[in-house]
Amino acid sequence: MKKIARIGVSLPESLLNEFDLIIRTRGYSSRSEAIRDAIRNYISEYKWMEKEDGEIIGVLTIIYDHDIRGVSDAVIDLQHEFGDIITSSMHIHLSKDMCLELVLVRGDMKRIKMLVDKTVSIKGVSNVKLITAFRE
């Protein structure tokens, strides 16, 4: 039998309400079950970060507020700087002020990590995700 650990988590009530609504819709029998699932997803999503080098192919999703001064230019400048690993990109205007940029990347993991780190640090960028498709 697996050892079970108990943890206590503090989080904003609104976040918990949103979580509860989703798990109810998805049919989870308990919060614990849904949290275990969420943690597993989180781990698999971030596992690529453990990969130190080697070629990968993936999609970088970047959400940012273009009303914040300089953010659009910073996102574009980075794409020019990392032109060697960027295959193509697509820009979607989500709302009056929010933008979504999809960037196809292919190249060395170290270089892609560098691009991700630099993108995350741009002020006005609210969400960055890398979805990878690489051979194990």
Which positions lie near Ni ion, rule CB under 5 A? Answer: 93, 99
Task: Give me the least distance between CB of 106 and Ni ion, in Å please.
Answer: 24
Task: Give me the least distance between CB of 11 and Ni ion, in Å please.
Answer: 31
Q: Which is nearer to Ni ion, 93 or 129 (CB)?
A: 93
* Integer CA distances (angstroms), 136 to 8, 29, 66, 133, in order: 34, 33, 37, 9
* Rounded (5°) CA angle 66-68-69: 105
Q: Which is nearer to Ni ion, 38 or 102 (CB)?
A: 102
Q: Which is nearer to Ni ion, 31 or 93 (CB)?
A: 93
Nearest to 8 by CA among 25, 31, 38, 42: 31
Residue of this chain nearest to Ni ion (CB atom): 99
* Integer CA distances (angstroms), 61 to 1, 65, 78, 104, 119, in order: 40, 14, 14, 9, 10
Q: Which is nearer to Ni ion, 99 or 109 (CB)?
A: 99
Task: Give me the least distance between CB of 130 and Ni ion, in Å please.
Answer: 20
Beta-bridge partners for 98: 65
Task: Give me the least distance between CB of 65 and Ni ion, in Å please.
Answer: 10
Q: Which is nearer to Ni ion, 99 or 128 (CB)?
A: 99
Question: What is the C-alpha separation between 124 and 78, in angstroms, rounded?
Answer: 14
Report residue 93: phi and psi, to 5°. -85, 105
Task: Give me the least distance between CB of 112 and Ni ion, in Å please.
Answer: 23
